[in-house]
Structure 1
């Protein structure tokens, strides 16, 4: 008989159908009330809609709608006619899939119904499931929450699944898939295992230090393990929030003197008319933002007012906001008019903005700068392309599109530095929660001093291990879980 059903529920599942509360008495109490169902595919008309259930009454639900006498083969699609369990009215011909627990997404008995995606069909099947005793509509994220509760997913894997659902760029998809595959969880579990082993050695030395039964060098080995974890934690925490930028988007700010082509560049990169383009200086007087997929990376692209001494109060405020946004930028696109490099506004921009950024990047690896010389189409064939005293730059034309490929490649390189490359290296920390718990673990290890007090060293290891358990979900509070699952849709 199908797994996951109690003996009474099994009798109800395979007895003659008297399942609707309106059609029977007493049957409803035979089935547990914790089975959920929902539409798992998108809303609206589509070719195929997927409806699924999870819980001990999933087998009963499938028996109710298909009148099957035996369970279908596990994890194999079968074509069956679905009928309403009360009226017997045909609903649709559906592919059905049976996933007996614990080998399912949630760890419980699950059913998937692949029906035609018309609203009337979907509504009819959902109403039919709602009439089966023991079934109720799922809440947002409840399927994934059950998978977490049943140990099918760790908390970072749950977060990876949420990020995968919301991924809008190729880099976000790759990073979310790595986290869903458990790379961050496995890394934390490895650190926790090393700390557990070190803790066992320290506690053994506390209990049996005077005996001859302990191997030599036990504390030295524990100390090496702890220092190795400490170094690895420090390395991950020095990633400059790259993973969080990859998840939420890097700030790319376009700046330069008036009429250099900043708004044209923003429109070209975003492929839509975000900013007004005019030959009149000072057209852009506020910060205009637009989310953009640049070379596969998520970016918040900002167009700013031309940097000059404002001729009015409004333009002066726009220039002030432009300077403020430059301080928050991860990457700065400095735009100059290639045909007007000798102007006072261009020289002022080079001296006051470009030169300090170049010096900063050389000294401390600060904000990234890409200097662009726009309007290359206005240069005469015999004129020099640019001033040789300029820092490294790219020559392009927003009007003709020349040089755009080189700009996108340069942006991809810079964004990979700022956001991290999701295809290589260790897994990135994509949420502030990850960074908080790893920092807490590192802080706890800061109190680990074997030479001072073995008992305090053991307590420091316990605290450090507890922080790693919180990260992977072993000690999370309900409030944290609610916050994580609130972004999931119904059916997931």
Structure 2
């Protein structure tokens, strides 16, 4: 790993629990002066402060050293390096969760010499810089905190346990061993043709490098969806049942439903979990020509949300012929991923499957090549099939147990994407008998891109960018 030995060694402190009142608030201190600060500020109910063992939680009070005035009744623990989160001496003070009392205690700590407030993500950054975790695991900490669904949490935990690093290590080892062969050929130029078995090295690069990297890249988009979620917009002409569909999916009366066209004047957004995928469902104002100012503003907002959507649910009405409004809406989203949803099957009169299929067929021929399904939002019929289709269209896969394989995030994906062209140049160079010196340059480029992922190669700017997205105290 590139050396960052000169990083700031000051003792740092921060409130590690979210702002606001709570049952418990935690203050975390990390650095060489952590134990000394505890000795100055903590008064145990029994025994001396210095008599406490490492990793032993003790009951007592935080007091002002000058006046002896108690600030809070707490539990405190000292944890000796290196068996800590940061591999430095760490102290945690567990007090009452009021904002004022926590700020008062933190103020006492920061008033000690050689102590400063921690920056965003600095505790985890120190864990990385001190070699306790690689960069992929450090990033996974943030994914755990931000997980919006159980599957997103499981993916984050897989990475936190080193899943991505473990998958990359055999790839990196194969590249290093191929590079070692090439460098031997550089040292013995008269025998390079005998040393470099181009067919064998080419097969190894294909099986042990290219294929695993391609599999990781294929997982990246799915991983992005489970980490960040996707946006699904319900689109349709007025009074076609958009708000009813939103309420049915949420199993709650979130949107006002009336028979009056134009009831929804603005976009309504709610979060939904479909097979572990976090979704933002957007109910839009019915898009039509209007002279009413408020409705017009809502329609313009609807158009903007449609442009941002990962999937559009184009809602139409069973038992009616496609109107010019329906087709105009379809034309406006033709370039996007669209699922046509035929609503109000309950109003057909004939509830048989044959009647429902006939109603769908009347619409299917107007939208050739598009996915189409039928529902009754009011009767809540067909919603399970609709959810399965939404999942498949967004993720590109069927709902299933993913095995919680680790998936790359956007930064990892960019580094992997840089690795493959360099690898292709190596493979082509081997086949063409390229000079070993040039092969070595491209192999080093591959290793450099992989090193960026786990933090073996990087810069202070890269680390600052990654850890600045963390909360203070983590």
Aligned alpha-carbon RMSD (Å)? 3.8
For the Cα contact (< 8 Å) 1:174–1:423, is it kept in 2?
no
Aligned partner of 2:361 in structure 1 is: 389
**SS of residue paired to 1:47:** coil
Gap change, CA 1:328 and 1:35, over 3 Å in 2 = closer
Gap change, CA 1:378 and 1:152, over 3 Å in 2 = same
For the Cα contact (< 8 Å) 1:245–1:418, is it kept in 2?
no
Displacement of 1:153 in angstroms is 2.4
Aligned partner of 1:26 in structure 2 is: none
Gaps in structure 2 of 5+ consecutive residues:
1-7, 365-370
Aligned partner of 2:5 in structure 1 is: none
- Given candidates 317, 340, 343, the residue that maps to 1:374 is 343
Aligned partner of 2:462 in structure 1 is: 480
Displacement of 1:203 in angstroms is 0.7
- Given candidates 428, 433, 443, the residue that maps to 2:407 is 428
Displacement of 1:239 in angstroms is 4.5
Gap change, CA 1:84 and 1:170, over 3 Å in 2 = same
- Given candidates 380, 384, 396, the residue that maps to 1:401 is 380
Q: Distance in 2 between matches of 1:463 and 1:348?
A: 53
For the Cα contact (< 8 Å) 2:42–2:60, is it kept in 1?
yes
Q: Distance in 2 between matches of 1:57 and 1:471?
A: 33
Displacement of 1:34 in angstroms is 0.9
Gap change, CA 1:467 and 1:313, over 3 Å in 2 = farther
**2:144 paired with 1:164:** yes
Q: Distance in 1 between matches of 2:99 and 2:404?
A: 45
Q: Distance in 2 between matches of 1:231 and 1:328?
A: 33
Q: Distance in 1 between matches of 2:219 and 2:401?
A: 13
Alignment length (residue pairs): 446
- Given candidates 31, 38, 50, the residue that maps to 1:55 is 31
String of CA shifts for 1:265-290, please: whole Å, max 9, x gaps. 1344356777664434466687x362
Gap change, CA 1:83 and 1:254, over 3 Å in 2 = same
Q: Distance in 2 between matches of 1:426 and 1:129?
A: 42
**2:255 paired with 1:279:** no
**SS of residue paired to 1:334:** strand
Q: Distance in 1 between matches of 2:309 and 2:342?
A: 20
Gap change, CA 1:240 and 1:160, over 3 Å in 2 = closer
Q: TM-score with structure 1 length normalisation?
A: 0.77
Gap change, CA 1:331 and 1:291, over 3 Å in 2 = same
Gap change, CA 1:279 and 1:37, over 3 Å in 2 = same
**2:208 paired with 1:236:** no
Aligned partner of 1:343 in structure 2 is: 321
Displacement of 1:377 in angstroms is 3.5
Gap change, CA 1:304 and 1:48, over 3 Å in 2 = closer
- Given candidates 242, 251, 255, the residue that maps to 2:235 is 255
Displacement of 1:111 in angstroms is 1.0
**2:86 paired with 1:93:** no
For the Cα contact (< 8 Å) 1:46–1:118, is it kept in 2?
yes
Q: TM-score with structure 2 length normalisation?
A: 0.80
Q: Distance in 1 between matches of 2:162 and 2:399?
A: 18
Q: Distance in 1 between matches of 2:338 and 2:407?
A: 20
- Given candidates 17, 20, 24, the residue that maps to 1:41 is 17
Q: Distance in 2 between matches of 1:95 and 1:322?
A: 52
String of CA shifts for 1:92-116, please: whole Å, max 9, x gaps. 3322222211121111110111112
String of CA shifts for 1:330-383, please: whole Å, max 9, x gaps. 333232323xx33242996599679x98xx9xxxxx9363x4332234343567
**2:153 paired with 1:173:** yes
For the Cα contact (< 8 Å) 1:243–1:420, is it kept in 2?
no
Aligned partner of 1:193 in structure 2 is: 173
**SS of residue paired to 1:41:** coil
Instruction: Pick which of 449-458 and 404-413 moved more.
Output: 404-413
For the Cα contact (< 8 Å) 1:199–1:222, is it kept in 2?
no
Displacement of 1:59 in angstroms is 1.2
For the Cα contact (< 8 Å) 1:168–1:298, is it kept in 2?
yes
Gap change, CA 1:182 and 1:382, over 3 Å in 2 = closer
Displacement of 1:143 in angstroms is 0.9
